[in-house]
């Protein structure tokens, strides 16, 4: 590790140790979860604004969360270190890029993507295509991931008639037209005291089960 990373780990060790900070000492993975989420959103906001000084600070806050969680885990598993986390990432990157760190040659982006998917499948065997799509993500992200992953299964995620009607309303799909549609849906829901996020999350929970049913898992 660099001197700065080593010092960060040392500071966290001192905060968690006897004589350190009572608040830091009593934290758990669960109690810190909301801070990890908050720091992630603040990092994304800095990116959206193109604010590099803020981005540097927010990435530092994310790094703190990683070191914090590593220190907590290390208290029950001595091998759970920041170095071990970094080494795991290094190994994964090299393994998933044989065309960069090995002698594998791909003739198309499709071949590269297929190889990437094969390596991931070998690393983490999954029962369902829905595995690895966290329900805790924002509902729109969950919907995007589930629909992308299930595209080859042919599981309808929406009303086909309504979708075709939308195609007639918006003959030319663009970022602007989709944005306006999303805003209009949110406004319509709000006018009727409905929460768009909750509604979509509930529908995606059902859709997840529909996918698993088609896969023969329910």
Q: What is the DSSP string of 93-133?
A: HHHH-HHHHSS---SSHHHHHHHHHHHHHHHS--SSTTTT-
Backbone angles phi, psi at 216, to 5 degrees: 80, 25
What size, in residues, is the chain?
A: 218
pLDDT value for 168: 86
pLDDT value for 62: 97
What mean pLDDT is predicted for residues 22-30? 97
What mean pLDDT is predicted for residues 89-101? 94
**Domain range summary for the chain, segments of one domain joined by +:** 3-80, 139-214
Whether the CA torsion 114, 118, 214, 204 is positive or negative: it is negative
pLDDT value for 158: 86
pLDDT value for 117: 82
Average pLDDT, the chain: 93
Domain range 3-80, CATH class:
mainly alpha
* pLDDT range class, residue 22, cuts 50, 70, 90: very high
Residue (of 184, 206, 193) closest to 139 by Cα position: 206
Highest mean pLDDT pick, 14-18, 133-137, 152-156: 14-18
pLDDT value for 3: 92
pLDDT value for 85: 96
pLDDT at 1 over 70: no
């Amino acid at each position: 590790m660099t001197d700065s990373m080593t010092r960060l780990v040392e500071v966290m060790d001192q905060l968690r140790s006897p004589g350190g900070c009572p608040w830091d000492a009593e934290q758990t993975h669960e109690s810190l979860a909301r801070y990890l989420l908050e720091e992630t959103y603040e990092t994304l906001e800095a990116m959206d604004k193109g604010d590099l000084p803020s981005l540097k600070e927010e990435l530092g806050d994310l790094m703190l969360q990683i070191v914090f969680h590593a220190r907590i885990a290390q208290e029950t598993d001595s091998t759970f270190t920041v170095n071990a986390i970094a080494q795991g990432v290094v190994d994964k990157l090299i393994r998933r890029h044989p065309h960069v760190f090995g002698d594998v040659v791909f003739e198309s982006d499709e071949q590269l993507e297929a190889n990437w998917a094969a390596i991931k499948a070998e690393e983490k065997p999954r029962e369902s295509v829905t595995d690895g799509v966290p329900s805790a993500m924002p509902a729109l992200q969950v919907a995007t991931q589930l629909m992308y992953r299930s595209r080859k299964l042919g599981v309808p995620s929406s009303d086909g008639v309504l979708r075709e009607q939308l195609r007639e309303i918006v003959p030319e799909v663009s970022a602007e037209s989709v944005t306006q549609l999303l805003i209009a849906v949110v406004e319509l829901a709000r006018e009727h005291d409905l929460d768009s996020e909750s509604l979509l999350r509930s529908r995606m929970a059902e859709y997840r089960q529909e996918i698993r049913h088609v896969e023969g898992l329910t």
